[in-house]
Structure 1
Amino acid sequence: MAFRRRAKSHPLFSQEFLIHNHADIGFCLVLCVLISLMFEVTAKTAFLFILPQYNVSVPTADGEIVLYHYGLKDLVTILFYIFIAIILHAVVQEYALDKINRRLHLSKIKHSKFNESGQLVAFHLASMVWCLYVVITEGYLSNPKSLWENYPHARLPFQVKFFYLCQLSYWLHALPELYFQKVRKEEIPRQLQYIGLYLVHIAGAYLLNLTRLGLILLLLQYVAEFLFHMARLFYFTDENNEKLFNAWAVVFVITRLFTLTLSVLVVGFGLARVENQAFDPEKGNFNTLLFRMCVLLLLCFSQAWMMWRFIHFQLRRWREYWNEQSARKRAVAAAHGKQQLKTIKRESGYHENGVVKAENGTSPRTKKLKSP
């Protein structure tokens, strides 16, 4: 299964071979795990890679439900879905983005940014729909008190745990993709900050049993990010398409306000009123004053940093816009001045072969009468 058309072959196990064939290598590893499900000897080990672990049966009025908690075996599952993310990344790149790029004929810098936004649009759209489905089916939107009631939420439904494992897998897969996609050195620090923020917040919500709050905040964040990268895609196709940036700016500011408000409501007020406020890592309870202060400081710092980046981005856009407008006005004024100068010259006469002539072609000099 070849994801890319290669003009020439590279030496086996060389750097170029790994870069051009990383998706095929990942596909072979995934295929080996799937084949091992067919044999009884290897099936138990294969299930560690595919299915979430640490399931617990909890009796209810209607019977029993299966809930999950986290542990070290989750790292094995995350590793498997990292390879899945690498394969999907290559599929989107090969069958969608590369075909569009051939038609647009973008520069190298715009080509790189177009690929980045194209990948993130696909991911944010899928995650946004999936997250919204989980939030609605679990009743977190219809009952906001469930975000802090009965904390710690150490036992998770299957779809909640699987969602978090896939989210961690995607953002971890983005780290080797910086190498596979040959990202420019100037872009690496920015993307590492971007990836690091997502990993810290998602892993923090997962490990500190704040998964319900994390789902709502991720949904808000993904809506804003989806609009931003869609705006960039439209801008690269036509530089006059900037209206979507204005819509993104409004949604971005509203998202920051909602994120801060919801975080203070849940962590600052909701968890502070929960009866069980003892530090107990074995039961997954971290509800102490220090814990709440650290979580709020981290969230406020990240939102302030993102808002500062947003203001800096908007100021740069406005500066470029006004510089462009002033340059156009100067060009129009210069062209108007040249037109006026030409008009004045034509009114007073113009030069032809070194002789000043009037507009009717006659010389403006008076003719001398010949003496009789």
Structure 2
Amino acid sequence: MAAFRKRSKNPPFLSQEFLIHNHADIVSCLVVLVLIGLMFEVTAKTAFMFISPQNNVSTTTADGDVVYYLYGSCDFVTILFYICITIIFHAVVQEYGLDKLNKRLHLSKIKHGKLNESGQLIVLHLTSAIWASVIIVTEGYVTNPSCLWEKYPHTDLSFQVKFFYLCHLAYWTHSLPELYFQRVRKEEIVRQLQYIGLYLLHIAGAYLLNLTRLGVVLLLLQSVAELLFHVARLFYFINENQQKFFSAWAVIFVVTRLMTLTLAVLVVGFGLSRVEHQIFDIERGIFNTLPIRLGILATVCTTQAWMMWRFINFQLRRWREFRAEQAARRKITGVVAARGRVIRREPGHHENGLIKSENGASPRARKTKSP
């Protein structure tokens, strides 16, 4: 009689397994509580702080009243709320997209984790590239490139620029607890922390130092390069013969690094050195002194050099693997060709031109029958 299958038991309430499996549902409940708070007058003001960017300032212009936004301590509350929103979206993409794709591909555990990482980052960088492109066009960065450094400090932000930065900070901050929720392997944690830390450093630096215009342009360049890389890796997992996207990504990556360095030197090194305010004033948001500019350039250049070093190592490793694969194929082809040229011999072994039987004696010559 066949034994009955054991049913999987639900993990204990508030245990580690419970939090990992249900963290998105728990966060969804918190988001619903905030949204319910909007329905009551007593809690509406507090709930609104979580949802909408704060520190707004109204300015009267010829076209009417225009609302701009500054950064402040209330941004932490808004970022916390959108961390919860990001966790929910992360779980939706994972469950309804990536998990189904993993079931079809039957990948190894290592490739399974990399496919999940690439799938999530494709959604992020595609959204970021489109959003940054819209900001660059609507804010007039294309028609007037000098606005990247003119009228510094850029403390007055439009709604979409501030919301863009808050969403990016929320996403990369949410990536830290996701290392625990996704059960990332210990070998990958250091690499992931470097990746997340660099994004948080550069995005928060551009936001706090009032270099938001330059930051949007650089994030667009970075998002395009990262998007192409993760698309190439996704196609590689689906079909290992699809490696053309890696070649296209290699070109875009190098061009992006050069454009990033050029823009950083142009805006920070030359542009900010010619603007009116050359002082350090936290209250007015001015951080335009020579040591700060040198620190910004050193950070950007060091990061770009580190990324190029990793890129060169990656390309060298791919080249070595390709050469080893080609050598193995040639060896197998040579062995198969050599086997095809083997001549069939009579039983026994040859010695000094004579055929020897298995026991070493010469075979007896057959007698010819008389006609």
How far apart, in 2, do the equivalents of 1:370 and 1:165 lie?
Answer: 106
1:220-369 correspondence runs (5 A) = 220-340=221-341, 342-343=342-343, 346=344, 349-351=345-347, 367-369=366-368
Q: CA deviation at 1:24?
A: 0.1
SS at match of 2:68: strand
For 2:137, the equivalent position in structure 1 comes to 136
Q: CA deviation at 1:371?
A: 7.9
How far apart, in 2, do the equivalents of 1:105 and 1:51 lie?
Answer: 42
**One-letter amino acid of the structure 1 residue matched with residue 126 of structure 2:** L
Which contiguous aligned blocks of 4+ residues in structure 1 show a shift greater than 6 angstroms?
Answer: none
How far apart, in 1, do the equivalents of 2:287 and 2:8 lie?
Answer: 56
Residues 19-48 of structure 1: CA distance to partner in whole angstroms, max 9, x if unpaired?
Answer: 000000010000000000000000010011
How far apart, in 1, do the equivalents of 2:326 and 2:19 lie?
Answer: 48
Residues 110-131 of structure 1: CA distance to partner in whole angstroms, max 9, x if unpaired?
Answer: 1010000000001111111111
Q: CA deviation at 1:146?
A: 0.4
C-alpha change, 1:116 and 1:7, in structure 2 (3 Å) is farther
SS at match of 2:281: coil
1:118-197 correspondence runs (5 A) = 118-197=119-198
SS at match of 1:350: coil
**One-letter amino acid of the structure 1 residue matched with residue 27 of structure 2:** G
Residues 265-318 of structure 1: CA distance to partner in whole angstroms, max 9, x if unpaired?
Answer: 000000011011111110000011111100000000000000000000000000
Q: CA deviation at 1:168?
A: 0.1
TM-score (norm: length of structure 1): 0.92
**One-letter amino acid of the structure 1 residue matched with residue 366 of structure 2:** K
1:10-21 correspondence runs (5 A) = 10-21=11-22
Which stretches in structure 2 are left out of the alignment for 5+ residues?
1-6, 349-354, 356-362
For 1:90, the equivalent position in structure 2 comes to 91
How far apart, in 1, do the equivalents of 2:214 and 2:42 lie?
Answer: 41
SS at match of 2:67: strand
For 1:60, the equivalent position in structure 2 comes to 61
**One-letter amino acid of the structure 2 residue matched with residue 208 of structure 1:** L
How far apart, in 1, do the equivalents of 2:166 and 2:35 lie?
Answer: 19
For 1:99, the equivalent position in structure 2 comes to 100
SS at match of 2:185: coil
For 1:360, the equivalent position in structure 2 comes to none
For 2:50, the equivalent position in structure 1 comes to 49
C-alpha change, 1:277 and 1:365, in structure 2 (3 Å) is farther
SS at match of 1:187: helix
User: How many pairs align?
Assistant: 356
How far apart, in 1, do the equivalents of 2:40 and 2:370 lie?
Answer: 127
SS at match of 1:57: strand
SS at match of 2:22: helix
TM-score (norm: length of structure 2): 0.93
For 1:361, the equivalent position in structure 2 comes to none
Q: CA deviation at 1:365?
A: 8.1
Q: CA deviation at 1:94?
A: 0.5
Q: CA deviation at 1:368?
A: 2.3
Q: CA deviation at 1:142?
A: 1.5
Residues 74-127 of structure 1: CA distance to partner in whole angstroms, max 9, x if unpaired?
Answer: 000000000000000000000011111111111111101000000000111111
Q: CA deviation at 1:366?
A: 5.7
CA RMSD of aligned residues (A): 2.0
Residues 226-276 of structure 1: CA distance to partner in whole angstroms, max 9, x if unpaired?
Answer: 000000000000110100000000000000000000110000000011011
**One-letter amino acid of the structure 1 residue matched with residue 74 of structure 2:** K
**One-letter amino acid of the structure 1 residue matched with residue 221 of structure 2:** L
How far apart, in 1, do the equivalents of 2:311 and 2:135 lie?
Answer: 29
SS at match of 2:257: helix
Which stretches in structure 1 are left out of the alignment for 5+ residues?
1-5, 357-363
Q: CA deviation at 1:10?
A: 1.0
**One-letter amino acid of the structure 1 residue matched with residue 179 of structure 2:** L
**One-letter amino acid of the structure 1 residue matched with residue 241 of structure 2:** N
Q: CA deviation at 1:339?
A: 2.0
**One-letter amino acid of the structure 2 residue matched with residue 39 of structure 1:** F
Amino-acid identity (%): 67
